[in-house]
Amino acid sequence: MKIAVPVKDANLQFFGNAGHTPYFAVFTLKGGGMFRSFELEALRKNPRTDLDEHEEDEGHHCSHDEEDEAHVKEHLKMGDALDDCDYMVVRRACKNTARSMAEHGIKIKKYNGEAIDAKRILQELSAEFI
């Protein structure tokens, strides 16, 4: 099972706004029960080309809707890039991000805790990955 976590960079610091994250850390879930662990498989750059510097901000709220075809296509690029993943962890995801993930069979798990390290977040959510 593979899980994508939006992160700022190779330090694996969680980036709350999934659609505007600079990178996705892709982890493989190993083991079972209470012996679960998460192994970093890859750090993938967000494939969206419509992000400018001010939008790579956790507080940015996407104002585009489903009628903005070019914007929707950019979100679909994320689904394509994460197509081998089963889950994506988010603090926030707009409807276009959610739709893209759903079209690729990627389930979204919301994280509202205080941790900022991707591995710590995965440990906290580990029981929810089935």
pLDDT score for 81: 96
Residue 36's contacts (CB-CB under 8 Å, 6 or more residues apart) are 29, 30, 126, 129
Could you tell me which residue, 55 or 129, shows the higher pLDDT? 129
Q: Residue 123: which of 1, 2, 37, 14 has the closest Cα?
A: 37
CATH class of 2-128: alpha beta
Cα distance between residue 124 and residue 130, in whole Å? 14
Which pLDDT band, with edges at 50, 70 and 90, does 94 fall under? confident
At which residue do the structure tokens 């493989």 appear? 28
Q: How confident is the model over 21-52, as pLDDT tens digits?
A: 999 999 999 988 778 999 999 999 999 877 76
pLDDT band at residue 79 under the 50/70/90 scheme: very high
- Amino acid 52: pLDDT: 61
Q: Are 112 and 91 in contact (CB under 8 A)?
A: yes
Rounded Cα distance, 130 and 119, in Å: 17
pTM: 0.86
- Hey, what are 23's tokens? 């990178």
Is 4 in contact with 104 (CB distance < 8 Å)? no
pLDDT of residue 56: 46
Confidence of residue 69 (pLDDT cuts 50, 70, 90): confident
Label residue 55 by pLDDT band (50, 70, 90).
very low
